[in-house]
Amino acid sequence: MNAYFSALGRDAVIVPCHVAAEDLEEAIMGLRRMRNLDGIIVTVPHKEAVATLCDSLTEEARLVGAVNAIRRHPDGHLKGGQFDGEGFVAGLHKAGHSVAGRRVLMAGAGGAASGIGFALLRHGVAALTIYNRTADRAEALAQRLRDTYPAASISVTGPDPSGHDIVVNATSLGLRQDDPMPIDTQRLVPPMVAAEVVMQPEVTPFLTAAAQRGCATHGGYPMLAEQVALLAQFIAGEAD
């Protein structure tokens, strides 16, 4: 983001702020009062909680129920936006993996997964299957997606990726080396594409397992890289 600002000659900088979940509301109230703050980028685990703390939401953020960027207006009004899904799909497309007409299994039902689910359907996947360790959360997301895309093929399943073209880890599993696998990797077979949202480590255990099974892999970093311009433009008030 800072490299993007520098290339544009924009007098702006982004700095990290580490906020615990129990301090989130108070932190947002404080940031709201910072007059030289244009916006906030939001990441795990705050994307869904932050949506409830914004004064208004873009249509995408409202549908997804999660926010990964906030624009602060001069009067302190906070508007939340959601760009994870578009960034994820754009990253896949840039790597040569079209989603249109493909059958996708997505592990996860949180904020990032919700954004990705809406984006996948918007870009024409043939079928979207959701797996989450908490089945009720998977079904709740599936129903929200059906409400928006009633003609789409949307279902909830177990961790078996058989029968799918693209398998997405849209959970935080993989941030730690001792995390369990997000899906049953023993069932991955070529020409499946294994795609990840976790950026660190660059090659997660899920991607390693998929590569060992002969599948193409797609890391988490492109999802962020393809969002940079969208996030900067939203925060600057140049786009909604």
> Mind telling me the catalytic residues?
47
End-to-end, the C-alpha distance of the chain in Å comes to 18
Is residue 78 within 8 A of residue 99, CB to CB? The reply is: no
As a whole number of angstroms, the distance between CA 10 and CA 4 comes to 9
In the structure encoding, which two tokens stand for residue 182, read together?
A: 């997000």
DSSP string, 22-67: GGHHHHHHHHHT-TT--EEE--TT-HHHHHTTSSEE-HHHHHHT--
Which residue from 173, 30, 201 is spatially nearest to 106, judged by alpha carbons?
Answer: 173
Is residue 111 within 8 A of residue 135, CB to CB? The reply is: no
As a whole number of angstroms, the distance between CA 202 and CA 172 comes to 13
Is residue 61 within 8 A of residue 67, CB to CB? The reply is: yes
- 3-class SS letters over 82-129: CCHHHHHHHHHHHCCCCCCCCEEEEECCCHHHHHHHHHHHHCCCCEEE
Is residue 217 within 8 A of residue 192, CB to CB? The reply is: no
